[in-house]
């Protein structure tokens, strides 16, 4: 059984990184309302609303194609955090994934998806069940991977960039960021 939400903002961030199929797009109004809820600073809310507006205004097939090009076909923007760790390629991913799955299990949280435990939206869903300090520590542990994804999204001038910048900020508020949380353009 999964724990109750303690930090619902992380669930909204996870949702913004889901594959934007028709079911996702039908839930977009509720997601945009969640982004306006307490838990985000004014600059964060503004940047995330920009992402939500971009999604709402985009053609569905174009949105899906951009998602695939960005996160599925570009290894540097892969949302599987363990793919950005270490230099041994996939060799060390297994133990890292097992440790992360064990961490979820010890916290009483079960994966509700067929995705790997190192998939960023899954990590954010888990973070939503933690208090803010524990969620921050979890994301801080993936800081280098998050920076790698963010750097690639900056190179691409991706509309998803504000989401990753916010995740980096949440995980490491004391570390300097290259850019503030804002819309890419």
Tokens of 43: 């600059």
Per-residue model confidence as pLDDT tens digits over 111-133: 777 888 889 999 999 999 999 99
Angle between helix 42-57 and helix 22-35 axes, rounded to 10 deg = 160
Tokens of 135: 């969620």
Question: How many angstroms separate the CA atoms of 17 and 31, rounded?
Answer: 12
Q: Which has the higher per-residue pLDDT, 3 or 44?
A: 44
For the whole model, what pTM was predicted?
0.87
pLDDT, position 96:
80
Per-residue model confidence as pLDDT tens digits over 23-39: 999 999 999 998 887 78
Q: Residue 1, SS3?
A: coil
pLDDT, position 4:
67
Beta bridge partners of 5: none
Beta bridge partners of 80: 119
Q: Residue 159, SS3?
A: coil
**Domain residue spans of the chain:** 8-171
pLDDT, position 173:
75
pLDDT, position 116:
84
**pLDDT for residue 180 is more than 90:** no
């Amino acid at each position: 059984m999964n724990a109750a939400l303690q930090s619902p903002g992380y669930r909204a961030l996870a949702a913004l990184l889901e594959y934007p199929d028709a079911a996702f797009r039908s839930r977009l109004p509720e997601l945009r309302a969640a982004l306006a809820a307490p838990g985000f600073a004014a600059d964060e809310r503004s940047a995330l609303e920009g992402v939500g507006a971009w999604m709402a205004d985009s053609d569905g097939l174009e949105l899906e194609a951009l998602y695939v090009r960005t996160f599925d076909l570009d290894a540097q923007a892969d949302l599987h955090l363990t793919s950005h760790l270490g230099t041994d390629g996939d060799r060390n991913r297994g133990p890292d994934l097992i440790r992360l799955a064990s961490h979820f299990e010890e916290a009483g949280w079960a994966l509700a998806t067929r995705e790997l435990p190192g998939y960023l939206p899954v990590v954010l869903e888990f973070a939503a069940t933690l208090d803010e300090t524990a969620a921050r520590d979890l994301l801080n542990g993936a800081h280098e991977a998050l920076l790698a994804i963010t750097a690639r999204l900056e190179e691409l001038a991706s509309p998803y960039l504000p989401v990753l910048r916010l995740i980096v900020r949440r995980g490491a508020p004391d570390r300097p960021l290259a850019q503030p949380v804002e819309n890419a353009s």
